[in-house]
Amino acid sequence: MTPVVVLTGMSGAGKQTAARSFEDMGWQVVENIPPRLFSPLLAGMPKDEPLCIVNDVRSGEFEALPAGILSLSVVPTLVFLDSRDEILIRRFKETRRPHPFFFEAGGILPAIALERARLTSLKEQADLVIDTSGMSMPELQAFLRERFAAPEHQQQPITVTVASFGFKHGTPLDADLLFDVRFLRNPYYNQALREKDGRDEEVRVFVEADERTGAFLERLYDLVGWSLPHYIAEGKAYLTIGIGCTGGKHRSVMISEKLSAFLKALGYRVLTQHRDVERR
């Protein structure tokens, strides 16, 4: 049976952060479709793919939300995000984004009061009410992950991309961390290894024969292994680690493969990319 969450609540209470959290957990997230389309949407979903429907006062048919929930063939979890008025005011001032009822109500305080009145019955029906007043973004993400994530997302809620590259072709623009391994023994100058790459056993053995390789890997594992939990605590869902050598074919590829294997053994989701390995 498809898990379904209907996410709603006060404007400024963190629905966009919550929606991104569900996306990071592998849920299909659909925002502000008319409630009359809830049932057809669910019918077209792949079996067992979790669905999060975000619907709030910006929807032109928001009053029909209870009927849309009842039309679903499964019983959804209704999640309502709320926050204290003074917190909502501060958030709107920081973002400079007008409240949906600002002009209708004639000011930010009347707008919040009007929205709260219209949402009272929906909040009472909610299966889960989350007060985000004292929550940071990472704390809200962690709360939702604990409540709704599949086991693999609960354990390591970050995807790590390990990307090898050649400095002669430019550094990756999306790298969060960069490591230069051009100081290691270079297989390029071995004629028998020149046309191979860092995934070949002979190249691996050649690079590992450099006594500096083991010392570097030990320090690399220690630094990256120590850093990742702190990135997770800050709410980072994706991290790209660039490993560079001269051409991006031998040393950087071999080190990237080793780092990827290390992180996978720790339970992280890892994507390994070799950007320049096919360059001539």
| More confidently predicted of 232 and 59 | 232
- Residues ≥6 apart with Cβ < 8 Å to 105: 99, 111, 113, 114
| More confidently predicted of 19 and 73 | 19
Residue where a domain stops, chosen among 139, 154, 169 = 154
- In this structure, are 148 and 160 located in the same domain? no
CATH of the domain at 139: 3.40.50.300
The per-residue pLDDT of the chain, averaged, comes to 87
The total number of structural domains in the chain stands at 2
What token pair was written down for 257? 């493969």
Within-domain flag for 112: yes
pLDDT of amino acid 24: 83
On the question of pLDDT at 48 being above 80, the answer is no
Taking a C-beta distance cutoff of 8 angstroms, is the pair 182, 167 a contact?
Answer: yes
pLDDT band for 25, please (50, 70, 90 cuts).
confident
Within-domain flag for 279: no
Q: Which domain holds residue 72?
A: 4-154
Tens digit of each residue's pLDDT (9 = 90 or more) over 114-163? 889 988 888 998 899 999 988 888 788 878 888 887 655 445 568 899 99
**Among 22-26, 92-96, 166-170, 217-221, which stretch is predicted with the lowest mean pLDDT?**
92-96
Tens digit of each residue's pLDDT (9 = 90 or more) over 170-214? 998 889 999 999 999 999 999 999 899 999 999 999 999 999 999
Tens digit of each residue's pLDDT (9 = 90 or more) over 81-111? 999 999 888 888 777 677 877 787 788 888 8
Residue where a domain stops, chosen among 96, 128, 154 = 154
pLDDT of amino acid 263: 92
pLDDT of amino acid 216: 96
- In this structure, are 40 and 150 located in the same domain? yes
On the question of pLDDT at 39 being above 90, the answer is no
Sole residue written with tokens 């080793």: 258
Within-domain flag for 147: yes
Within-domain flag for 26: yes
For the beta carbon of residue 218, count every other beta carbon within 10 angstroms: 10
Name the β-bridge partners of 269. 159
Within-domain flag for 257: yes
pLDDT of amino acid 156: 57
How does DSSP assign 167-201, residue by residue? GGG---TT-SEEEE-TTS--GGGSTTTTTS-TTSH
| More confidently predicted of 56 and 197 | 197
- In this structure, are 9 and 138 located in the same domain? yes
